[in-house]
């Protein structure tokens, strides 16, 4: 086989494998793999904010309560985008605070920008099937 035929065959094989992986859901573009939720298999709330942001500071005790109240049922992750600037880019953050709700399969199901009251977070958990 000449070199160009081998390259073409290799390209077809790589594209076929990539297509199978995408169709089976093994590769997700977006938050699922970034959030690290794939091993825990728990729904997750990812809050991106900063210690310098007043609405973020108001959310801190709410997130701490939820983390305790929903331990073992929902993973609550808080990321300070001033300390982890790359996280803002990874998650496509435009405004802080931003809350991202991820299902147990690692898929983003909802996103909210700004302060979010505890009752609204709990309502989203319930919509995701968390009791």
Residues 29-78 have pLDDT tens digits of: 334 444 454 454 899 999 999 999 999 999 999 999 999 999 999 999 99
> In the annotation, is 99 catalytic?
no
Give the structural domain span for 53.
30-127
Residue 60 lies in a domain: yes
Helices 118-127 and 54-69, packing angle to 10 deg:
50
Question: How many domains in the chain?
Answer: 1
CA atoms in the 13 A half-sphere facing the CB of 73 = 12
Higher pLDDT among residues 20 and 103, named by residue: 103
Angle at 119 between CA 66 and CA 99, to 5 degrees: 65
Residue 121 lies in a domain: yes
Residue 65 lies in a domain: yes
Closest to 48 (Cα-Cα) out of 125, 104, 116, 122: 116
Residue 8 lies in a domain: no
Residue 15 lies in a domain: no
Averaged over 102-122, what is the pLDDT?
Answer: 97
Average pLDDT of the chain is 81
Residue 2's pLDDT band (boundaries 50, 70, 90)?
A: confident
**pLDDT value at position 84?**
95
**pLDDT value at position 30?**
36
Residue 1 lies in a domain: no
Query: Tokens standing for 46?
Result: 């990812």
Residue 18's pLDDT band (boundaries 50, 70, 90)?
A: very low
Rg of the chain, C-alpha, whole Å: 19
Single out the catalytic residue among 53, 104, 109, 128.
53
For residue 23, pLDDT beyond 70: no
Higher pLDDT among residues 94 and 31, named by residue: 94
Domain of residue 101, CATH code: 3.40.30.10
Residue 23 lies in a domain: no
> In the annotation, is 53 catalytic?
yes
Single out the catalytic residue among 35, 46, 48, 56.
56
């Amino acid at each position: 086989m000449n070199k160009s035929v081998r390259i073409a065959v290799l390209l077809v094989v790589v594209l076929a494998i990539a297509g199978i992986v995408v169709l089976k859901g093994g590769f997700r573009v977006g938050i699922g793999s970034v959030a690290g939720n794939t091993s825990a298999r728990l729904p997750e709330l990812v809050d991106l904010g900063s210690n310098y942001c007043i609405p973020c500071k108001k959310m801190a005790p709410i997130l701490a309560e939820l983390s305790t109240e929903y331990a073992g049922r929902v993973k609550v992750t808080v990321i300070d985008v001033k300390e982890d600037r790359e996280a803002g880019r990874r998650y496509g953050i435009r405004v802080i605070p931003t809350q991202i709700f991820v299902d147990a399969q690692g898929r983003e199901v909802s996103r909210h920008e700004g302060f979010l009251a505890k009752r609204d977070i709990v309502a989203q958990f319930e919509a995701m099937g968390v009791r």
